[in-house]
Amino acid sequence: MLLPERVKHRKQFKGNMHGLAYRGSKVSFGDFGIQALEPHWITSRQIEASRIVITQHVSKTGKFWIRIFPDKPITKKPAETRMGSGKGDVDHWIAVVLTGRVMFEFTGVDEATAQRITELVSAKLPMRIKLLTRKAQEEV
């Protein structure tokens, strides 16, 4: 699973997820991209599950890119702990994904296979996604 090797601060505030993703909202590397239609936190486990699905369909014929990285720590206090006594230990890592962010890109497959990959990846993620193509992006 993905996680940073080292961070400047061990624990972070929750923050917010307002607005649209301007950076990383276009297909840059491959022919197809999977774009988020709503903001959400994506855990490193969800990214790994999506990576496995994409690898199964693209591995021999093409290449794929993961465009998000889980660099935000989420803390959790132990069960049956009294209130107070500070913030809990880091439990897992997440990537903050805003609306419009391209999370995964791949190339080397036809459009029907790309649509099938998108359907399978949508089952692994907690939000709505859509398939982007480089051709449709260049026409606009």
- At 31-50, the pLDDT tens digits run 999 999 999 999 999 999 99
The whole-model pTM stands at 0.93
pLDDT recorded at residue 111: 94
For 111, the enclosing helix (H) or strand (E) is: helix 111-122
Nearest-Å Rg of the Cα atoms of the chain is: 17
Q: What is the pLDDT of residue 102?
A: 97
Q: Using CA atoms, how far apart are residues 34 and 51, in angstroms rounded to an integer?
A: 12
What is 89-100 written as a DSSP string?
EEEEEEEEE-BT
Q: Report pLDDT for 49.
A: 97
Answer whether residue 121 shows pLDDT above 80: yes
Question: What is the model's pLDDT at position 22?
Answer: 92
Give 9-25 pLDDT, tens digit per residue: 999 999 999 999 999 99
> What is the pLDDT at residue 68?
97
User: Is the distance from CB of 68 to CB of 97 less than 8 angstroms?
Assistant: yes
Give the confidence band of 61 by pLDDT, cuts at 50, 70, 90: confident
Show the domains of the chain with their CATH numbers.
39-76+90-139 (3.90.1170.10)
How large is the average pLDDT for residues 80-91?
Answer: 93
